[in-house]
Amino acid sequence: MSHTAEIIAVGTELLLGNIVNTNAQDISQALSAVGVNVFWHTVVGDNPSRLREALEIARKRADIIITTGGLGPTYDDLTKQTICETFGKPLVFYPEILESIRYFFEHKAHIPMPENNRPQAEFPADCVIFDNPVGTAPGCAFESDGVHVLMMPGPPFEMLTMLRRHVVPYLRGLSSEVILSHDIMTFGLGESPMEELMREEISRMENPSLATYAKPSEVRLRATAKAATAEEAERMLAPVVEKTVAFLGDVVYGVDVEGLEHTCFQLLKDRGLTMATAESCTGGRIAERMTALAGVSSVYRGGVVSYWTSVKQDVLGVPTETLERFGAVSPETARAMAEGACRVTGADIAVSVTGVAGPDPDERGTEVGIVYIGLATPSGTFCRSLDLGKRRRDRIQDLATNHAFDVVRRYLTGLPVETWRR
């Protein structure tokens, strides 16, 4: 049986734009993986009458309703009470849940439990309770007239913990189908060229299916299969993934990997090489993404953010003649920056970025979007020249960062460094 779901996020702060509703994205992705179709996202403020109205609409068009938020101890946390009123379920007090909440305060927060947390130990009759090991608001699920209602807390870390520990297993038990996906990660082709290239293949596929998704500065192709078992779905997906990867060639940087930096990290480890960075217009974004990876100290030596020309000269050792003759934004300076990063850190290879992120041209009149990526290696120093166009400053920085990782990735896999598919 196929299930349809509606996600209702409760919180006035979401409507005001004070916080972003990342919960809906995370829940949708998790539901897709277990064969539940998400057809509607709803956001409603901390208002019982409007929440009740949203629930009445949802119960008529979905057989799974998932709510986030409104399970806290404050006066406006009324999700549980409103849902119980809407579905005619009495609230039941659970002393053992209250003791677990009290334990959380006393042994994790090291403060006495406030009395206004007591309602968090009340739940709909005949429900399944989801414990919350990282917060004070447990969740729950119940079924009423064929509709499954699941409640989770609003803070994203608490929600994600509960989603993985309890909600996904609960929903998996409702579906007789398994949906599996593999993400084919690419860099070097935009969404429109990718869609045009893959249009014929995508249009004639149903199960498995293939779809393109634009991520910041790259494109992901998701191959998805629905089957009775995970093993059968994998058998259906394998030839699709293999064929797509072979067709796209060197723009594919991995399957089911989180980002270009993960691929570079693994390649550096596999080859026993170390890397350093020298950044100007990206302001340390390459280093930030590298150092976010656990265990990266085995391959990443360090980096220099050389925003001023004097830092390029005094720290990285870019020759004065190079800076005066060619300027800070030039292929020559990019190469010298990369070589300097190798020299300063002792790394085997180093990638550098220098360019104009905007909003104005530089002092030599170099236009916004002109970027050079340098790469110093034992086999020579290379440079990729880019014209990223008059985009937003942060967009240019993100694109330049991905190009830097792509340059490293291509060098480590024996591909041409200075050119790429557009």
User: pLDDT digit string (tens) for 138-186?
Assistant: 999 999 999 999 999 999 999 999 999 999 999 988 877 778 889 999 9
Q: How confident is the model at residue 124 (pLDDT cuts 50, 70, 90)?
A: very high
The alpha carbon of 409 is separated from its chain's Cα centroid by a whole number of angstroms, namely: 20
Domains and CATH numbers, the chain: 3-172 (3.40.980.10), 178-255 (3.30.70.2860), 260-412 (3.90.950.20)
Element of type H or E holding 142 = strand 139-144
Between CA 162 and CA 156 the distance in angstroms is 10
Between CA 415 and CA 188 the distance in angstroms is 13
At residue 276, the pLDDT reads 98
Between CA 43 and CA 10 the distance in angstroms is 6
What's 413's DSSP letter? T
Nearest to 376 by CA among 338, 343, 416, 403: 338
At residue 273, the pLDDT reads 98
Rg for the chain, CA atoms, rounded: 26
Do 339 and 347 contact (CB within 8 A), yes or no? Answer: no
Q: What is the pTM assigned to this prediction?
A: 0.78
pLDDT exceeds cutoff 70 at 217: yes
Burial class (CB in 10 A: 0-12, 13-18, 19+), 104: middle
145-161: burial string, b at 16+ Cβ within 10 Å, e else: eebbbbbbbbbbebbbb
Dump pLDDT digits (tens) for 263-272.
999 999 999 9
Instruction: Report DSSP letters for 225-256, one per residue.
Output: EEESSHHHHHHHHHHHHHHHHHHHGGGEEEES
At residue 2, the pLDDT reads 75
Between CA 22 and CA 41 the distance in angstroms is 12
What's 329's DSSP letter? S
Q: How confident is the model at residue 221 (pLDDT cuts 50, 70, 90)?
A: very high
Question: Which tokens go with 369?
Answer: 């979007």
CA distances (Å), origin 68, targets 184, 219, 237, 249: 31, 30, 33, 42
Q: How confident is the model at residue 421 (pLDDT cuts 50, 70, 90)?
A: low
38 pairs with which residues across the strands? 5
Residue type at 227 in one-letter notation: A
Between CA 292 and CA 326 the distance in angstroms is 34
Question: Which tokens go with 200?
Answer: 């014929």
Q: How confident is the model at residue 226 (pLDDT cuts 50, 70, 90)?
A: confident
Between CA 363 and CA 345 the distance in angstroms is 30
Nearest to 346 by CA among 412, 264, 274, 266: 274
List the Cα angle 174/178/182 in 5-degree steps: 140
State the pairing for strand pair 178-186/252-255.
antiparallel
Between CA 313 and CA 64 the distance in angstroms is 62
At residue 293, the pLDDT reads 97
For the ranges 101-115, 223-237, 401-415, the maximum mean pLDDT occurs at 401-415
Number of continuous H segments (helices) and E segments (strands) in the chain:
15, 17
At residue 216, the pLDDT reads 66
Min mean pLDDT across 136-145, 226-235, 282-291 is at 226-235
Dump pLDDT digits (tens) for 195-206.
888 988 899 898
At residue 420, the pLDDT reads 65
Question: Which sign does the torsion angle of CA 183, 184, 186, 189 carry?
Answer: negative
